[in-house]
Structure 1
Amino acid sequence: MPGRGVRVPPARLGEILAALLSGALAFEDLVRNMDVYGMYQGGGGRPAFPTPTVPPLRSFPALPATDVALLVRTSFDDEGGWVGADPDPDEIDPEHYPLTALVVDDRAFEGLGPGQVPVLVPPTEHTTLVALADARTFAEPGRPLTVVDLYDTPGQPAVLPCRQVGSMACNLEIGNMDFHEFVAVEGTVPWWEG
């Protein structure tokens, strides 16, 4: 997938490149075996929501240029459940900063996965993050969004309750936290639920 990233330990770079070139290792293998830091066979724990490695069945148009966050709807099965980025002011939890985002509500992005996102973001702006409102958003409690890393390990997802994504965007924008701090580790309770 163009734009998709994986980190490799510098001491193993030659070995990994040789394995990729010989066909003994595929890029999907690197992605499947990443830790929460995006490191191939790293020791940071397995992500609770691994990155899908299925290649796209079709191409997607470029996302709009913006210097804020993007909220992209990728599932269109629940019209009544779609609220976009404009929550009811009476329902905003004062403990959590609401997400301020440019909303993309276009069927051209139906089925878009996190691995395809980095190449679709125009390089002309510093987009803070891209959050996907996918099937999980409409089916699970807390309306989780799949947030996509654009800079540290492009294409790596973090799945967060909708109420946490605004705080994530703020913390990333000011450099207070890194993306990997929002990637839930398999078998542990994420800090935002503790």
Structure 2
Amino acid sequence: MPSVQVIDDGTDTAPGSTPELSPELQEQLELARCELEWDRCELIDGTAVPEPGASSIVAPPPSEVGPLGAIGNGADLVRTSFDTGTDAAFDAVCAESLAPRSADGDDPTPSVAGIECVDDPANEGMTAADLVRGAEESFSTFVVIADRITLTDPSHPVLVVDLAEEPGRAFRAAPAMLWDLDANLSIGNMWFSEFADAADASPGGVLRDLG
């Protein structure tokens, strides 16, 4: 930020009055004020404005950060099947997993599950056991797999794998259920085993709701 120096030229100024600044000092003050809010500023016709592409250095109020927040501790949704023609199916799985929901209670603000979709061919053929071994230092309590069954079944049931309570235990669930898993497991409101038991008792062994 440019420094502003006021030079005493010996001119007497009446008490309480404001000395008149030179045009150069006025321009420096304009730039200094602009650079309190923007990382790059320029003068146009004596007025300081942000340069094209400049970024604001003032944090927005919390209400302006974004309409949706993520819940829970989050988990990876890992694609492990890359058969030709299944890209759209994986996109659909991610979209359903990240659909905003409102929690029951006093706060109606929609939120999304803290799910990270991982679409990397290096993971082709990875199994639940592989991902459990690779997640020993993960902060997540579960990982989700989009395998061949997920991407070829019209309802896209994902495979949810426990990383904490009973590492390796797995069950199938509708992608929309990931919101419920993330919300409840992150605060200890439910155990992974409760979801797994519910899936075992569900038609087709796929958890689609908590009813």
- The answer to which structure has the higher strand fraction is 2
Kept in 1: contact 2:94–2:117 (CA 8 A): no
Alignment counterpart, residue 156 of structure 2, candidates 134, 143, 153 = 143
Per-residue CA distance 1:15-53 (angstroms, 9 max, x = gap): xxxxxxxxxxxxxxxxxxxxxxxxxxxxxxxxxxxxxxx
Larger radius of gyration: 2
Kept in 1: contact 2:78–2:117 (CA 8 A): yes
Match of 2:121 in 1: 107
TM-score, structure 2 normalization? 0.51
1:81 aligns with 2:89: yes
Shift in Å at residue 178 of structure 1?
0.5
Match of 1:71 in 2: 77
Shift in Å at residue 140 of structure 1?
1.9
Residue 117 of structure 2 aligns to which amino acid in structure 1? V
Residue 138 of structure 1 aligns to which amino acid in structure 2? L
Kept in 2: contact 1:172–1:178 (CA 8 A): yes
Shift in Å at residue 95 of structure 1?
6.4
Shift in Å at residue 94 of structure 1?
3.8
Kept in 2: contact 1:98–1:163 (CA 8 A): no
Kept in 2: contact 1:116–1:155 (CA 8 A): no
Match of 1:192 in 2: 209
In the alignment, the residues of structure 2 paired with residue 193 and residue 141 of structure 1 have an alpha-carbon distance, to the nearest angstrom, of 21
Q: Secondary structure at the match of 2:172?
A: strand
Match of 1:41 in 2: none
Q: Secondary structure at the match of 1:176?
A: coil
Kept in 1: contact 2:171–2:200 (CA 8 A): no
In the alignment, the residues of structure 1 paired with residue 168 and residue 94 of structure 2 have an alpha-carbon distance, to the nearest angstrom, of 26
Percent same amino acid at aligned positions? Answer: 30
Cα gap change, 1:152/1:122 in structure 2, threshold over 3 Å: closer, same or farther?
A: closer
Provide the aligned C-alpha RMSD in A: 2.9
Q: Which has the higher contact order (CA 8 A, sep 6+)?
A: 1
Kept in 2: contact 1:71–1:84 (CA 8 A): no
Shift in Å at residue 176 of structure 1?
0.5
Cα gap change, 1:69/1:153 in structure 2, threshold over 3 Å: closer, same or farther?
A: same
Cα gap change, 1:84/1:100 in structure 2, threshold over 3 Å: closer, same or farther?
A: farther
Match of 1:126 in 2: 139
> How many equivalent pairs are there?
125
Cα gap change, 1:112/1:84 in structure 2, threshold over 3 Å: closer, same or farther?
A: farther
Unmatched runs of 5 consecutive residues or more in structure 1: 1-66
In the alignment, the residues of structure 2 paired with residue 69 and residue 182 of structure 1 have an alpha-carbon distance, to the nearest angstrom, of 16
Shift in Å at residue 151 of structure 1?
0.9
Residue 88 of structure 2 aligns to which amino acid in structure 1? G
